[in-house]
A and B are shown apart, each in its own frame.
Chain A
Amino acid sequence: MMELTTLQWVKHTVTHPFVGFEDMRWKKSGSFRLASVILLLWFIAAVLYERAYGFQFKAVPDRVFNIVHYFVQTVVVFLTWVIGNWSVCTLLDGEGTLRRIYIYSAYALVPYIASRYLETFLSHILIRDEVVFLEGVRLIGICWSALLLVSAMKAVHQYSIGRTVLAMLLTVAAMAVMLFLMVLVLAIFQQMAMFLYAIYTEIAYRIQV
């Protein structure tokens, strides 16, 4: 029973929102490498969605392009989610390991990422009057992934549905705290660097004079 290859597991979990992840947990399957590939595809999708979208829908200034922005929006947010969820659920008697949360979350995002590629592609052949199709694709992708994410979190931690939702809300709060701390640390390091550089220039100047 359920002897599936790695790719078939993705297909199975995505197309079976209610039992897919339970099955995968029961068979102890799920590939870390594939999850990373999905994450990379998400990052690419985010860049394409912004830069290669149909011009009739979105005009983007060419002068500014900062890839770090998209990296933060996808990869950093995802990793924050994983770490935040792990921290919260360790306290809430969740069974998930860091590795499993990473894999399951990534698998759950597949419909969303696919919808992004599909929408970007469709935006080149549709016109403004037909924007409703794009909105449909977007909505389906988001809802499907949201459903999968709840299912994935439920399976990975072996929670009841109420506890899953609670844990997810707490995770979002934890993410906010983490991002805040990250910004703070970055700011402090920047100040440190500037301070050290000021000392260096001062000393260099003294030596010269």
Chain B
Amino acid sequence: MQKWMYAIPALLLISPMPVQAKEHYDVYSYDRWSEPVPSQAGYTAVRAVTGEDLGIGAFSEPSDLFMDEGGRLWIADTGNDRIVRTDAGLQTADVLNSFCMPDGSETHLSAPEGIYVSKETGLIYIADSGNSRVLICDDAQVQIILTKPDSVLFSQDLNFQPQKVLADKAGNVYVVLSNITTGAAMFSPEGEFMGYYGANAVQSTPKIAMKRFRSLLSTEEMRSSQSRTVPSGITNLDADAEGFLYTCSASVSQTQDTVKKVNPAGDNLFTSLHTVWGDQQPVYDITTRRQYQPMISDIDIAEDGSINCLDRTTGRVFQYNKEGELLFIFGSLSEQLGGFREVTALESFGTQVYVADDRKHSVTIFEETDFGALVHEATACNTAGNDDDALELWYAALQYDGNYRPAFLGISAGLLIQGDYREAMRYAKLADSSYYYDRAFSCYRREWMKIHGGEMLAAVLVLIVAGFLLHLYRTHRKERTT
């Protein structure tokens, strides 16, 4: 063997190795027909962080995550009655578990399930579930305490069980309560109860319809003894950069509108989408002989508007773009890195996604792969109106996964803007998208008519004249024979 040939493996070794996606589970996506198809990983797990790693003792059932502007992760460490705040690189952490009340006394947390830090004011919002209250604090000094509202809108028989908490830009506080089905409780910045927001509607099923029909026939007395139909409550919420609130609902009975984008009037803006949130086909478990349906238990809106949904049933994260188009699916139920036992919370920051597991007592960090970065960049270019660049990036994405539907759609849209209608139609067809095809075809037809319109008109005229002449000839011949 020649001496220089030894250099080849060495060269391969020193060449920069990108993040290689070698997942221990099957990476898949869904095609137009809701069939699972193999795909490339958009995210790969790089590290699992435990409490020991951070030097503060093991986590116990972490149930909420929040990432602030500075890249510090806040963890609601429910089982340990504390809030953990890491540093920017998730190397060390400090613990918040006692706070100074407005009257000067000291108070301790009990099973906090929700954490939020306001970008505008820096206030810390803690859903202190064990103590039935929400604390709004400025560092260790409690500013406002939200407890059971003394309002006719809030049934006084019920406990106040805050689970998740969020504040909007104006400082209004939204609290998800575990035993309320009428939406998130809304409080003013001063801590006054204002009502509910983002309630789910009762999904009409045959059972519900039957019940409604029966109540038509029954008397007032019979009706009062019937069980009431209530919608399922929301499970979690998040806000995007524009201030829209997104809710998700993990419920056995609710299969529609599990993810909603709620406008200030309380309407769901996602009703016109046909997106199926979570797995599009029911997962059948052979060992337990049960069919599982997705339970979207946490939602996170990334800076670029992508929607990350966490499915508790399968331990998977489903990432959608702003329009509800499925981008990536990652995570699984397993013991390896990147697998979970029971996921509870999800958070994203930059190129990373964090998932908390309350049975593994850890937080797993996912980093986007080259493919994931490419797709995100292309989406960002599309959003910015930078369509030429987006087109190039989508072509590059196809090199990774030649079956990747968002890429075909992106190319079709890009070519349409460039004016290559014929190719736009071809890519729309490859993406199985009638809608994109229709857009490209209507432009193509207009162009075609500009060029061939005159010829078409001439041809029609010729046909009419020919038909008329033929008719004349026939009648003439008939007259002659008779």
Residues of A within 8 A of B437 (CB): 55-56, 59
A127-B438, A128-B438 known; A59-B432 Cβ under 8 A: yes
Complex formed: what's the CA distance from A55 to B432 in Å?
A: 9
Chain B residues with CB under 8 Å of A61's CB are 32-33, 432
Closest residue to B443 on the A side, CB-wise?
A127
- 1/0 per residue, CB under 8 A from A, across B410-451: the answer is 000000000000000000110011100110011001000000
Residue A57 at the B interface, CB < 8 A? yes
In contact, A59 and B445 (Cβ under 8 angstroms): no
Which residue of the partner chain, among A55, A125, A127, contacts B429 with CB atoms under 8 Å? A55
Size category of the B interface is: 10 to 19
The answer to whether B33 touches A56 (Cβ under 8 A) is no
- CB within 8 A of A127: which of B33, B428, B432, B441? B441
B416 to nearest A CB, angstroms? 13
Measured CB to CB, the nearest residue on chain A to B436 is A56
A11 contacts B by Cβ under 8 Å: no
List the B side residues contacting A57 at CB < 8 Å.
434, 438
Closest residue to A125 on the B side, CB-wise? B445
Taking the complex as formed, is A58 at the interface, i.e. its CB lies under 8 A from any CB of chain B?
yes
In the complex, which residues of chain A have a beta carbon less than 8 angstroms from the beta carbon of B434? 55-59
B38 to chain A, nearest CB (A): 15
Instruction: Return A33 CB to nearest CB of chain B, in Å.
Output: 27
Complex Cα gap A128–B433 (Å): 13
Is chain B's interface secondary structure helix, strand, loop, or mixed overall?
A: helix
Q: Counting chain B CB atoms within 10 Å of each CB, which of A55, A56, A59, A127 scores highest?
A: A56
Contact status A127-B433, CB under 8 Å = no
* Chain B neighbourhood of A129, CB < 8 A: 442
Enumerate chain A residues within 8 angstroms of B32, measured Cβ to Cβ.
Answer: 59, 61
CA distance A127 to B425 in the complex (A): 13
A127-B444 Cα distance, complex, nearest whole Å: 11
Smallest CB separation, A60 vs chain B (Å): 9
Please indicate which of the listed interface residues B32, B428, B432, B434 has the most CB atoms of chain A within 10 Å of its own CB. B434
Least Cβ distance of B343 to chain A in Å? Answer: 33
Q: Chain B nearest CB: distance from A10 CB in Å?
A: 19
Q: A residues within 8 A CB of B33?
A: 61, 63
For residue A75, give the distance in angstroms from its CB to the closest CB of chain B.
28
**CB-CB < 8 A to B432: which residues of A?**
59, 61
Tell me the complex Cα distance, A162–B441, Å. 49
Across-interface contacts of B438 in A (CB, < 8 A) = 56-57, 127-128
Q: How far is it, in angstroms, between the C-alpha of A121 and the C-alpha of B434 when the chains are bound?
A: 17
Q: How far is the CB of B107 from chain A (nearest CB, A)?
A: 60
Q: Which residues of the partner chain A approach B429 to less than 8 Å between Cβ atoms?
A: 55
Closest chain A residue to B433 by CB distance?
A: A59
Rounded to whole angstroms, the CA-CA distance of A63 and B445 in the bound complex is 29
Chain B residues closer than 8 Å to A59, beta-carbon distance: 32, 432-434, 437
Tell me the complex Cα distance, A63–B31, Å. Answer: 12
Residues of B within 8 A of A56 (CB): 434, 437-438, 441-442
User: Bound complex: CA of A77 vs CA of B437, how far in Å?
Assistant: 34
Q: For residues 112 through 140 of chain A, which have their beta carbon under 8 Å from a beta carbon of chain B?
A: 125, 127-129
**B441 contacts across to A, CB distance below 8 A:** 55-56, 127
Contacts of A125 in B (CB 8 A): 445
Closest Cβ of chain A: how far from B73's Cβ, in Å?
43
A58 to B438, CA, bound (A): 10
Q: Within 8 Å CB of A58, what residues of B?
A: 434
Task: Give Cα A55–Cα B435 distance, bound, in whole angstroms.
Answer: 9
List residues 28-63 of chain B with CB under 8 A from any CB of chain A.
Answer: 32-33
Nearest first, the 10 closest Cβ-Cβ pairs linking A and B are: A56-B438, A127-B442, A59-B434, A128-B438, A61-B33, A55-B437, A56-B437, A59-B432, A56-B441, A127-B438
Binding site for A on B (CB under 8 A): 32-33, 428-429, 432-434, 437-438, 441-442, 445
* Contact sample, A vs B, 10 pairs, CB 8 Å cutoff: A55-B428, A55-B429, A55-B441, A56-B441, A56-B442, A57-B438, A61-B33, A127-B438, A128-B438, A128-B442
Q: A59-B32, A128-B442 are in contact. List 4 more A-B contacts (CB 8 A).
A: A55-B428, A55-B437, A59-B434, A61-B32
